[in-house]
């Protein structure tokens, strides 16, 4: 309480001195000890004097906490003055941050055209995308045709964001008018905005939306729209969306749709949920190309969230259905938990896949537990076909790591000679390659 009382009084009397004092502490490496004071300063000062805090940050130059402080100030300014906030994010190159959209509706209501144009002129990465998405949704509640006309006249990414958002909203309030508008637009706009239209439609009638795609679109536009149909259907009923994909003939459109379903079916990275059996059964029933494409998209997520189910699926999958890197990615993930189990699983894969997956697992093991991994490796028979690819993979992993020099220096004389040949064949930065070769000697 005393600290807060002091900070608020300091802010009343001399906010710039308050800022400069905290800045000095940050530059001295004491940012942790000033965290509470920093929170109070940036919670209050932007509300009282936004230009003052903006000037202070602009004049401070570069320092360790600059980006974090700028994010906080820009977010606070945006919540009360959208235009100043957007302009500030653009000037400060804040590209990957999305502020709250609570202030958008009130700001844009008097003049949606001005709001949309201002956002286009002050593009600020993700913030501009969220802003345009919100403008489209709110504008469509009062004048959807005007919103779509603006989107049609601005074919870039932000224009498409506004148009897609407005069209989705329009479909929910007056489907017939939205469909008529899209049917009478030019082909470029039709192809650009169809995914948003059918995604919203699919939540009520996925079959009709899919049939409309077949009748009105072709090529990449058809594939993208079909994926949106399935995305919309999956939001309502994931199992039904999966069945819809299963009934489709093999095609690029089916492949895109399969990816949409798989993404919905996978557990979140931090989740402790398993992939349901019906999901793996569905994936096994897809054509080879769709299965490969799905695995390319979800390998990291699946391997991290539920490696056990993924291991069982890959062990039963023919090689033509599995991308070249998928086995190795899973093997490394498994090796972080249980290296011997990962090596045993790898050995059960088809011959070509078994060696590459096993090599990846061994490389991960040797990188984290070099003594135990080396002991296991040295116990292999001298003619074991795993020796050369496993050692090569381990050296390649070492070479890219931060401890490469120390790890290579610990190799035996015979291993150094083999490692030198491997390092010479890698595409490494020149200075790093030179340093590692010096460590390995002649």
Closest CA to 127 of 156, 151, 92: 92
- In this structure, what token pair is assigned to residue 98? 């999305």
Tens digit of pLDDT per residue, the chain (442 long)?
A: 888 899 999 999 999 999 999 999 888 877 666 788 999 999 999 999 999 999 999 999 888 889 999 999 999 999 999 999 999 999 999 988 889 999 999 999 999 999 999 999 987 789 999 999 999 999 999 999 999 999 999 989 999 999 999 999 999 999 999 999 998 988 888 999 999 999 999 988 888 998 899 888 888 889 999 999 999 999 889 999 999 999 999 999 999 999 999 999 988 766 678 899 999 999 999 999 999 999 999 999 999 989 999 999 999 999 999 998 999 999 999 999 999 999 999 999 998 899 999 999 999 999 889 899 999 999 999 999 999 999 999 999 988 887 888 888 888 888 888 898 898 888 888 888 888 888 888 5
- How buried is residue 132: exposed, middle or buried, by Cβ count under 10 Å (0-12/13-18/19+)? buried
∠ CA 332-422-416 to the nearest 5 degrees? 100
Q: What is the pLDDT of residue 351?
A: 84
Instruction: Name the one residue in this structure whose structure tokens are 């709110």.
Output: 138
How deeply is 432 buried, as exposed, middle or buried, from its count of CB atoms within 10 A (0-12, 13-18, 19+)?
middle
What pLDDT was estimated at residue 428?
A: 84
The first and second tokens of residue 42, run together, are 């940036």
Residue 348 structure tokens? 């059960």
When computed from its CA atoms, the radius of gyration of the chain, rounded to whole angstroms, is: 28
What was the pLDDT predicted at 391?
A: 93
Tens of pLDDT, residues 316-360: 999 999 998 999 999 999 999 999 999 999 999 998 899 999 999
Q: How far apart are CA 129 and CA 86, in angstroms?
A: 11
Q: What was the pLDDT predicted at 383?
A: 93
pLDDT (0 to 100) of residue 3:
87
**CA 129, CA 161: separation in Å to the nearest integer?**
7
390 and 376 in contact (C-beta within 8 Å)?
Answer: no
Task: Give residue 64's pLDDT.
Answer: 81
């Amino acid at each position: 309480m005393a600290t807060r009382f002091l900070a608020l009084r300091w802010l009343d009397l001399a906010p710039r001195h308050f800022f400069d004092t905290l800045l000095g502490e940050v530059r001295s490496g004491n940012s942790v000890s000033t965290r509470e004071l920093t929170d109070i300063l940036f919670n209050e000062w932007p509300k009282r004097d936004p230009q003052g805090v903006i000037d202070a940050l602009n004049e401070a130059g570069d320092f360790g906490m600059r980006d974090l402080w700028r994010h906080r100030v820009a977010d606070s300014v945006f919540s009360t003055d959208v235009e100043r906030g957007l302009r500030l994010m653009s000037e400060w190159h804040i590209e990957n941050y999305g502020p709250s959209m609570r202030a958008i509706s009130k700001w844009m209501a008097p003049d949606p055209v001005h709001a949309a144009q201002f956002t286009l002129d002050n593009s600020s990465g993700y913030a501009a995308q969220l802003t345009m998405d919100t403008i489209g949704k709110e504008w469509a509640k009062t004048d959807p045709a005007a919103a779509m006309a603006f989107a049609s006249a601005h074919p870039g990414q932000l224009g498409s964001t506004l148009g897609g958002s407005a069209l989705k909203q329009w479909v929910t309030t007056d489907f017939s008018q939205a469909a008529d508008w899209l049917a009478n637009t030019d082909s470029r706009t039709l192809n650009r905005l169809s995914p948003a239209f059918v995604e919203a439609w699919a939540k009520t009638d996925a079959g009709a939306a899919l049939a409309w795609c077949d009748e009105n679109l072709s090529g990449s536009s058809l594939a993208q729209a079909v994926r949106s149909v399935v995305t919309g259907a999956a939001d309502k009923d994931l199992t039904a969306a999966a069945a819809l994909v299963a009934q489709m003939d093999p095609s690029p459109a089916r492949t895109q749709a399969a990816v949409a379903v798989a993404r919905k079916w996978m557990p979140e990275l931090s989740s402790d949920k398993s992939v349901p059996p019906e999901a793996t059964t569905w994936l096994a029933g897809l054509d080879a190309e769709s299965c490969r494409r799905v695995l390319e998209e979800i390998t990291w997520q699946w391997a991290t969230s539920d490696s056990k189910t993924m291991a069982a699926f890959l062990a039963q999958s023919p090689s033509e259905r599995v991308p070249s890197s998928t086995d190795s990615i899973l093997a490394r993930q498994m090796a972080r938990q249980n290296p011997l189990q990962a090596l045993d699983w790898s050995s059960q894969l088809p011959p070509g896949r078994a060696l590459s997956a096993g090599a990846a697992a061994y490389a991960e093991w040797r990188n984290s537990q070099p003594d135990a991994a080396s002991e296991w490796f040295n116990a292999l028979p001298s003619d074991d076909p795993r020796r050369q690819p496993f050692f090569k993979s381990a050296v390649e992993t070492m070479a890219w790591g931060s401890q490469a020099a120390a790890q290579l220096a610990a190799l035996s004389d015979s291993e150094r000679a083999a490692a030198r040949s491997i390092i010479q064949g890698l595409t490494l930065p020149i200075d790093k390659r030179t340093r590692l070769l010096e460590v390995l000697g002649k």
